[in-house]
Amino acid sequence: MYAWETVDVPSLPPSTGDVPDQLTLFDTASQGDVAVAGDGDTARMYVCGITPYDATHLGHANTYVTFDLINRVWRDLGLKVDYTQNVTDVDDPLLERAAETGVEWEELAADQTELFRSDMQDLRVLPPNNYIGAVESIACVTELIEHLLPSGLIYQVGDDEHPDWYFNTAEAPGFGGVSHLSEAEMIDLFRENGGDPERPGKRHPLDSLLWRYSRDGEPSWSSPLGAGRPGWHIECTAIALRYLGPDFDVQGGGSDLVFPHHEMCAAQAIVASREPLADAFVHSGLVALDGEKMSKSKGNLELVSRLRKAGADPMAVRLALLNNHWRSNWEWTPEQLERATERLAQWRSVLNNGAAIPAGETIDAMRTALRTNLNAPEALAAVDTWVAATLSVGGDDTDVIAQMSAAVDALLGIKL
């Protein structure tokens, strides 16, 4: 398990106003807002992690800040949060980048995972309870595949030298219920995202690879399935079921994971457990640069680490991200960071005041905005209004500065 330092979160007193008592979020599968209130006193969330072959860009940061807000809202509601995230530390893109650069793939994975972790730490993203690598989950994956064998949906494709294991995804109950795409659309997206719909011997073009049999020059691990390594989708399914169990509250990631990744994981999980993978499938919007979605493959990236090295305050970076609704697709520009830096300075200027106007209504407004489909821009606007009023008229409450500073940290993750 990769190390990830903890982040302290201030505790806030309960609201005394008319504030929603649960979090609602847009669920991709049902195409509507649903309550994600946890089971008893605990909320469970799985968010798909990085493939560590390059540095963290703002598209990544946007996703993990989104799910950090969910974590914070749940905690403010008095729930414990059981949060698991994976890191795909063995996969084709990683192996290809290692070969291109002449760096050992294990070293590349470790270096980029640590850079991601430090970026998230600077952005005050709360760490997962379980941050699990694919490599350390080999046994977990093979155990799940063996558990699936009696379903009749597991089969092998290839010759005697490379008999890869596949899952008959298209025959899984409810397949298509996350993305709601046509079969033709699914096949096109599957192909674009590293799938192999044309591979001879498959029962259906959308069947997904579970276990890639060992090839020369590739890392592999011995197993009852033969020497090899896990496919992408089964890795997340196995880790999620092992650490959270089935039917957890939120399966999360960027909207580019709706299909094939989350659709495939949902199909595998329902066959394995006879229960849904998650109550809600929650997908953050994508961030563009120069007119196209930020993508490692395209190289149009703005890196968190680059902004940090250039002197950007990580809290200003986080503010710039939060100023966009979590479901929206938007484009990054340097002007957004400039405006966020000015906004942060305005907020921090209040710390020099000895007193301020009361903040109870503002904190209630922040809570209401965040609990209602995670409306971060509205929560930021509530803080803006309070800051402007305090700077304009002063105030005589000597405790409120600390109270608001704690609320901005606890709810928004912004350290003033």
Are the C-beta atoms of 239 and 135 separated by less than 8 Å? no
Task: Report the C-alpha gap between 318 and 357 in whole angstroms.
Answer: 26
Q: Are 351 and 235 in a shared domain? A: no
Does residue 2 sit within a domain?
Answer: no
Contacts of 358 (CB under 8 A, 6+ apart): 395, 397, 400
Q: What is the DSSP letter of 386?
A: H
What's the sign of the alpha-carbon dihedral 202, 185, 229, 269? negative
Backbone torsions φ then ψ of 275, nearest 5 degrees: -135, 155
pLDDT of residue 254: 97
The sheet carrying 130-133 orders its strands as 130-133, 80-87, 42-47, 248-254, 278-284
Q: Are 341 and 219 in a shared domain? A: no
On the question of pLDDT at 120 being above 90, the answer is yes
Lookup: tokens for 299: 């190289």
- How many alpha carbons lie under 13 Å from residue 178 in its C-beta half-sphere? 31
Does residue 78 sit within a domain?
Answer: yes
Percent of the chain past pLDDT 70, that is, above it, reads: 99
Q: Are 128 and 220 in a shared domain? A: yes
As a whole number, the mean pLDDT across the chain is 94
Q: Which of 146, 258, 133, 271 is nearest to 210 (CA)?
A: 146
Classify 87 as helix, strand or coil: strand
Q: Which of 124, 129, 121 is nearest to 43 (CA)?
A: 129
On the question of pLDDT at 19 being above 90, the answer is yes
Q: Are 134 and 53 in a shared domain? A: yes
Among 237, 259, 293, which residue terminates a domain? 293
On the question of pLDDT at 203 being above 70, the answer is yes
Are the C-beta atoms of 25 and 374 separated by less than 8 Å? yes
Q: How confident is the model at residue 169 (pLDDT cuts 50, 70, 90)?
A: very high
Tell me the mean pLDDT in the region 227-235.
96
pLDDT of residue 342: 98
Pairing of strands 228-230, 208-213: antiparallel
Q: Are 98 and 138 in a shared domain? A: yes
Q: Are 77 and 103 in a shared domain? A: yes
On the question of pLDDT at 158 being above 90, the answer is no
Tell me the mean pLDDT in the region 369-398.
93
Place of tokens 């946007």: 62
pLDDT of residue 292: 81
Does residue 140 sit within a domain?
Answer: yes
On the question of pLDDT at 298 being above 90, the answer is no
Into how many domains does the chain fold? 2
Place of tokens 């350390």: 136
pLDDT of residue 3: 67
Are the C-beta atoms of 304 and 61 separated by less than 8 Å? yes
Q: Are 62 and 198 in a shared domain? A: yes
Pairing of strands 154-157, 164-167: antiparallel
> pLDDT tens for residues 254-281?
999 999 999 999 999 999 999 999 999 9
Among 293, 328, 356, which residue terminates a domain? 293
Q: CATH no. for residue 321?
A: 1.20.120.640
pLDDT of residue 96: 93
- How far, in whole angstroms, is CA 46 from its chain's centroid? 8
Across 323-349, b (16+ Cβ under 10 Å) vs e yields bbbbbeeeebeeebbeebbebbeebbe
H or E stretch covering 247: none
On the question of pLDDT at 381 being above 70, the answer is yes
Q: What is the DSSP letter of 221?
A: B
Task: Report the C-alpha gap between 177 and 16 in whole angstroms.
Answer: 40
Q: Are 198 and 247 in a shared domain? A: yes
pLDDT of residue 1: 53
pLDDT of residue 299: 72
Does residue 8 sit within a domain?
Answer: no
Tell me the mean pLDDT in the region 404-411.
97
pLDDT of residue 2: 65
Full domain range(s) for residue 390: 311-412
> Following DSSP, what letter does each residue of 127-142 receive, concatenated?
PPSEEEESGGGHHHHH
Tell me the mean pLDDT in the region 191-199.
95
| Listed range (16-20, 209-213, 312-316) with the worst mean pLDDT | 16-20
